[in-house]
Amino acid sequence: MSTARPSPASFRILICDELAPQAMEVFKSKGFEPEVAIGLKEDELVARVKDVHALVVRSATKVTRRVIEAAPALRVVGRAGVGVDNVDCDAASARGVVVMNTPTGNTTTTAELALALMFALARHVTKADRETKKGGWGKKGMMGTEITGKTLGVIGLGRIGRVVADRALGLKMKVLAHDPYLNSGAAPMAGIELADLDTLLAKSDFVTLHVPMLDGTKNLLSKERIATMKKGARLINCARGGLVDEAAVLQAIEEKRLAGAAFDVLAEEPPAKDHPLLGKDDVIVTPHLGASSNEAQLAVAVDVAHQIADFLLDGVANNAVNVPAVGAQDLREVGPYVVLSEKLGAFLAQVATAPITKLELTVSGELAKKDFRHVPLALLSSVLRQNHDHGVNFVNAPLLAKERGLQLFERKEAAHALYQSCLSVRATSTDGTAHLVEGTLFGQSPRITRFDELELDLDPKGPVLITRHADVPGVVGLLGTELGKHKVNIRRVELAPSGAGLATGILALYDEPSAAVLAALKTLQPVRDARLIRL
């Protein structure tokens, strides 16, 4: 891992959507000079991204597979906002491109919009406004309901859902919440009650959605579920289009089973002019205003600029949706172990006699108390990189491992018998063979301390010769003599019996021997095998 900080001038950043001007100020303060190209269509963007390292978008620009594949230098896509529906995250992950969003900047603004729509539904605000502007002054059909004392059902208790729940409690509402990702038991917020989805729908006077669009949440409120909602309830969706069966909502309103609905998001945006929801008085439709406040737009613009800069300069992927983010301080502490993990993976991949199918990583000692999520990713990346013809990095390594049937298991141990911190990896191959390798740091330098039964002190750099030979006197002399003939100098030698009258030799070399030299070593009478690995 290089400690040299790259120059900001070496990176091209392309801003594709309107951002608050403070974002440009952040970039320039850190030495970057982004390019701005607003409103590019896919073909135009494909033609523009060849040498671009970072794309900055909001919701308008679509970062498709074609765009990603046309950008071999692309390292990161930054979305100024929460949802990344406009970015092909699968394509990005396959190419090792980090996708990051800015999840906190929109939180309060979106929560407040949901509450505003709830009030508007409760008191027929939009309907009354339309009728008054047409010249009417009647109150027929305008009988509303108070918020106080009513039950609000919050589906999704993430950042935005929690703000909505907190504000609703302040309005003296009863709050039910459902979130499939929360463990059963006590609610994470005082004053709310957790419930399963069916119970929430049956008991809530108002229902608001705050979940992402995933395979498991698509059409979450289906026709069948909408039919179970409390009679006279009102529905608010400020999350994602496609979470709700819009036709079923319309039918429920027409049949007077629901009193109203408000949509800031729709399955198709913008909607067709004849979309049936647009003509209903008891339905409010707003044009995806969730993040549309001055405060939110400033926050997400500044956030995305800082995140892109931090990633390009320091490799810290804050708020990445397809790779774990590790703080700068943790990265400094764990970074040398990331290098060590890469070395252990490269060692194992080269000594294996068949493709590796299982890796068992044990993290011991002080390192186990830290955020070491980059360590297993480094191990996977290194193993895959040895035999993969595509670029492998922390982003695409899990996907590539899954495709190749490579499993990684992790465990932690509070202490190690010999070292303050230690990494131990057992690799099992398709032919049933297994190898164990361990390593630690001497100062800040990685060392391999064990290979199978052989205790080592190996500085993992440069060429290393591994031999299996008869456990008899004079073998090291023969190896040294043969290498000496070809001007190959030995840095260090480690030897240990390996059973059945054989021994293992680890010879760290200054120079890499040619294929002919390696072949000559294998002809030596005591030598059963000689393998060169590169670290």
DSSP 146-198: -STTPEEEEE--SHHHHHHHHHHHHTT-EEEEE-TTSPSSS-SSTTEEE--HH
Pairing of strands 463-470, 35-36: unpaired
Establish whether 269 is a catalytic residue: yes
pLDDT in tens, 353-375: 888 999 999 999 999 998 898 89
Q: What's the DSSP call for residue 279?
A: G
> Residue 460 corresponds to which tokens in the numbers above?
């993992």
Residue 88 backbone dihedrals phi, psi, to 5 degrees = -75, 90
Q: Which of 240, 374, 385, 469 is catalytic?
A: 240
Establish whether 469 is a catalytic residue: no
pLDDT at 227: 97
- Average the pLDDT over each of 14-23, 195-204, 320-329, 371-380 and give the range with the smallest value: 320-329
pLDDT in tens, 517-533: 999 999 999 999 999 99
Residue 378 backbone dihedrals phi, psi, to 5 degrees = -65, -40
pLDDT in tens, 264-273: 999 998 999 9
**Which residue, 237, 236, 258, 239, is CA-closest to 249?**
258
Tell me the C-alpha distance between 526 and 39, whole Å. Answer: 71
pLDDT in tens, 179-230: 876 655 567 788 999 999 999 999 999 999 998 887 778 899 999 999 999 9
Return the C-alpha torsion angle 448, 450, 456, 459, nearest 10.
Answer: -10
For residues 137-159, average pLDDT: 93
Written as one letter, the residue type at 42 is: E
C-alpha distances out from residue 484 to 82, 451, 488, 495, Å? 62, 26, 6, 19
> Residue 278 corresponds to which tokens in the numbers above?
């647009």
Residue 66 backbone dihedrals phi, psi, to 5 degrees = -60, -45
Q: Which of 123, 288, 435, 468 is catalytic?
A: 288
Q: Which of 269, 403, 413, 455 is catalytic?
A: 269
SS3 label, residue 365: strand
Establish whether 295 is a catalytic residue: no
Helix crossing, 21-29 with 294-314: angle to 10°? 20
How many Cβ atoms sit within 10 Å of the Cβ of residue 494? 18
pLDDT in tens, 405-447: 899 999 999 999 899 999 999 999 989 999 999 999 998 889 9
pLDDT at 90: 80
What domains appear along the chain, each with residue ranges and CATH number?
Answer: 8-105+295-324 (3.40.50.720), 107-285 (3.40.50.720), 326-459 (3.30.1330.90), 462-535 (3.30.70.260)
SS3 label, residue 77: strand
Residue 364 backbone dihedrals phi, psi, to 5 degrees = -120, 150
Report the chain's mean pLDDT, rounded to a whole number.
Answer: 91
Q: Residues near 342 by Cβ (< 8 Å), separated by ≥ 6?
A: 378, 379, 381, 382
> Residue 61 corresponds to which tokens in the numbers above?
């620009």
**What residue has token string 């709310």?**
192
